[in-house]
Structure 1
């Protein structure tokens, strides 16, 4: 891609130069007779073939560039998305529950597919235009050094204005993250199967659609004002660039009339100046675009560079397996809350024992489970497993020892066998294990009646998917918990 960029940077000026020689050769045909005229005709034909060859070469280089960009779009887009997802795997539950941080994630995902590629392409475009400007500058310098200065300065005012508007557009983009997320949420409620039932029965469609449209109108109003101002200034400052070109146009024409240059040279310089003006505009646009892309990519960088506390602990077992689970004066406050979700909780569950924890809604039952699974860290107090404080356990070992079904369990759009098997990813393909877990979770009763038994696609997102009842989904989730046959702890929320 670097080679083709260099080629497409040099060739336009070369083609314009050959065009000038062609015009001079044609002019000489009318001024020559005999052998000289025949030689002039041969020169005309030669320059035609040279220019055709250069055009073919440039067209091929442009096509190769296009192919490279298409391949890069796929590879780079996937690479950035993988980086975002890998970072998401390191985040704690609290990050996903933090609206401000979730906005960072949303902004990063929204721009991941286009901005990195745009930055790379603009970088190569800038290299191409700089090579073209260098080549053109060499030719124009032979006419006049002031022509080079005129060419360089013509596009600067428009560039400054564009940079200003790019910064303003980015600030609008950041400020609207919450509004965009609300729009996305409303789209999901109105189009997802898990929300459409209440939307229809409670007649929420018009209300939510109106909110969606109101958000759009507010965003559109600001965008329209920005676009109009940007377009107006672009038009006015673009006239300056056009004025510079036509000044050069007349300058070269009068030089030809004065006999300082030939007609072919006049044609070449005009073509070179037009190419140069386009290259200057494109170069400054590329720089401005790179600046704008970098502004947007700062959200991606901000997300990827966010420091996540390292998971502590490397122990695979505790010193006293008979001690079971022990909470000692555990308290927990959610971020931004002044009242504790749990306050000075102490309990002890020995191996082989079962405990039912009963309480009102919001009393902290689920929070207690999240603390035991190290999805949260206690604000105060300590939690022990097998006589070892949780923070000293290897996080992966700890979680392999726990089978859990949350009250808001996930409904994976996978086949039945995988829906259950992911309870123990190392055994996901073991049909015997999956069927045994389904039997314990009481899911086998209805699974055998599904079209393809354990190979039946669940959910409605994909072709031939079968939707289950709420109770059936719960039994699938329970079976998933039973897949963790090596787990020492089973939690049913």
Structure 2
């Protein structure tokens, strides 16, 4: 076989066609929900029926029976306000009549018992409400959180490379904290509405004008509050990315993983200044929104007060004209005050429901991605994927990350055969890890195809295919579980097979240090948890390597598998790599070029394109990119300026 260069051959187009398989669901979601979601800049309380519909739907989806029970209890507890006034009036009237007849107190026993029954009913309903509302809030919060996870786990890896997806995810996660408030506000809404209905009859009897006028009292503050809520929500959306940056900076300042470097380089002040600057920008926007709201609140309060005074004047006129006795007017005045208080509760509850629904709309905007994501996954679900192969062919494959200026992998073609050790080398950013993700079916090519024995992997069940691939990425997972579970998650179906887990540990060279841990393979990892033990970087990487052994897949992809290992562990792995992976195809990605010299074939990537291929000797004779990198690394290592894992 002769070394060859592919630099400059068949460059793929870079127009819109190149991005034809990027996550269109992210853009289509906004169009899908545009008419269904409450507007952040308009619409206001006119959309309240839709908002209430969503809220009730959410409650009944989370806990149908409990929601009905709580709503009935709230109606009972609040809707008896007018009935209590009537019963109290009956008791006083009966007492007055008994006094005139000289009858004993027992004459009003029936009226007193009825009034007591009403009070007991209200008290019991209130106690039950307080208890059951806690359970309902928990159930709704869990329901929303689970729906957020539904989208996250159905999203493909490429979705997590888009800022828009992270913005939507962050807003949806924030919405998950709203259901507890929603349930409280809905109950307040139902309760105040029930109270108003029970009192409305009294006002109507006094004058047909009192009820509509009293209802109008609530309109100005409700409009002002709803506009303020939309302003706050708009501000939150505008600062989605900024808030994520602040969250990231705060994580750097508070997490164990970054604590050492932050203190070593004295970064605390720098990071806090960045965090404070982002906070100041948000605060400036918040102050503007509040200033605008204050003027609306003043106007709304003035209008409401004017209408309320008008109701008082109307009641006084009824007394002066002799249409209503003073005693009845006094009861009417008390009813107006109670009605006004219930209106205030209704205004606050309605506005907070509307405000919460704006955030729940963010959840819906994220959740609406789910059908498209599931449809994409279901497209090939159940289509048998090959469990093994003789040859894997990568045919003119191109992949561009969302919003990236150029392809990460550009028109690459190569071949992997059963039982071969293939090396993939190149400088940083040359596309090696991206190609590994394409081969493991985490990303789908936007041009070209990848085939196992002629079967395009884009046309088969992705989960089935991934089951036949074992991957150790540079950013491998450090699961704060037990040692055995860290290895066993490589094939969750065999998680309890201790014999296989121990065998994988031996092959990866972790068995020796694991047996020195407090509980051996049952040792909890991570000092965040009681009794947890931490590992060195090399030990964590060896555990990740053991996961790959445990998976026992025909295709093994090792992306810088020894970056954190000591020289002895690294040498042992590279010396025994053919024996360790006998019968399997190994794609080795490494900057350590001396580890690739015994590969059956070496592919060299340069700026996303396949520059050269051949054996070590063929590439050295070709005197191209590989030879130059090899000589540079060999020279620096011979002078002692670099260690075994240093990049060229």
Unmatched 5+ stretches in structure 1: none
Alpha-carbon distance, 1:318 to partner: 4.3
1:125 paired with 2:191, answer: no
Does the C-alpha gap of structure 1 residues 338 and 223 become closer, same or farther in structure 2, counting only changes over 3 Å? closer
Match of 1:423 among 459, 473, 490: 490
For residue 326 of structure 1, what is the aligned residue in structure 2? 393
Partner of 1:411: 478
Question: Residues 29-108 of structure 1: matches in 2 within 5 Å?
Answer: 33=100, 36-38=101-103, 47=111, 49-108=113-172
Which stretch shifts more, 73-82 or 209-218? Answer: 209-218
Partner of 2:87: 18
List alignment gaps of at least 5 residues for structure 2.
1-69, 560-648
Cα pair distance change 1:256/1:63, threshold 3 Å: farther
Distance 1:38 1:233, change over 3 A: farther
**3-state SS of the aligned residue for 1:358?**
strand
What's 2:77 paired with? Answer: 8
Counterpart position of 1:297 = 360
| More deviation, 300-309/417-426 | 300-309
Superposed displacement of residue 54, structure 1 = 2.0
How far did residue 461 of structure 1 move?
2.1
Alignment of 1:92-491 (within 5 A): 92-114=156-178, 116-231=179-294, 233-234=296-297, 237-245=300-308, 247-249=310-312, 251-252=314-315, 255=318, 260-261=323-324, 265-306=328-369, 307-308=372-373, 310-311=376-377, 312-313=379-380, 314-318=382-386, 323-485=390-552, 487-491=553-557
Once the two structures are TM-superposed, the CA of residue 465 in structure 1 deviates from its matched residue by 1.3
**What TM-score results when the alignment is normalised by the length of structure 1?**
0.91
Question: Separation in 1 of the partners of 2:252 and 2:451?
Answer: 41
Tell whether the 8 Å contact from 1:245 to 1:274 is kept in structure 2 after alignment: no
Deviations along 1:112-171, one digit per CA (max 9) or x if unpaired, are: 122x34444434433333332222222221111011122111111111111211211111
How much does 1:216 deviate? Answer: 1.9
Cα distance, 1:259 vs structure 2: 6.0
Give the match's secondary structure for 1:381: strand
Where 1:356 maps in the other structure, the secondary structure is strand
Relative to structure 1, the CA distance from residue 190 to residue 422 in structure 2 (aligned partners, 3 Å threshold; closer, same or farther) is: same
Higher helix proportion: 1
SS in 2 for 1:422: helix
Give the TM-score normalised by the residue count of structure 2: 0.70
- Given the superposition, is the C-alpha separation of residues 78 and 277 from structure 1 closer, same or farther in structure 2, using an over 3 Å criterion? same
Q: Is the 8 A contact 1:440 1:479 kept in 2?
A: yes
Q: Which has the higher contact order (CA 8 A, sep 6+)?
A: 2
* Structure 1 contact 155–241 (Cα < 8 Å) conserved: yes
Could you tell me how far 1:43 is from its partner in structure 2? 6.3
User: Is the contact made by 2:81 and 2:199 (CA closer than 8 Å) also made in structure 1?
Assistant: no
Counterparts of 1:216 and 1:38, CA distance in 2: 74
Cα distance in 2 between the residues matched to 1:68 and 1:390? 51
C-alpha contact (below 8 Å) 2:133/2:183 kept by paired residues: no
Query: Residue 403 of structure 1 contacts residue 490 of structure 1 at CA under 8 Å; is this kept in 2?
Result: yes
The secondary structure found in structure 2 opposite 1:491 is: strand
Q: 1:339 to 1:231 in 2, by over 3 A?
A: closer
Which shifted more, 394-403 or 233-242? 233-242
How far did residue 301 of structure 1 move?
A: 0.8
RMSD, matched Cα: 2.5
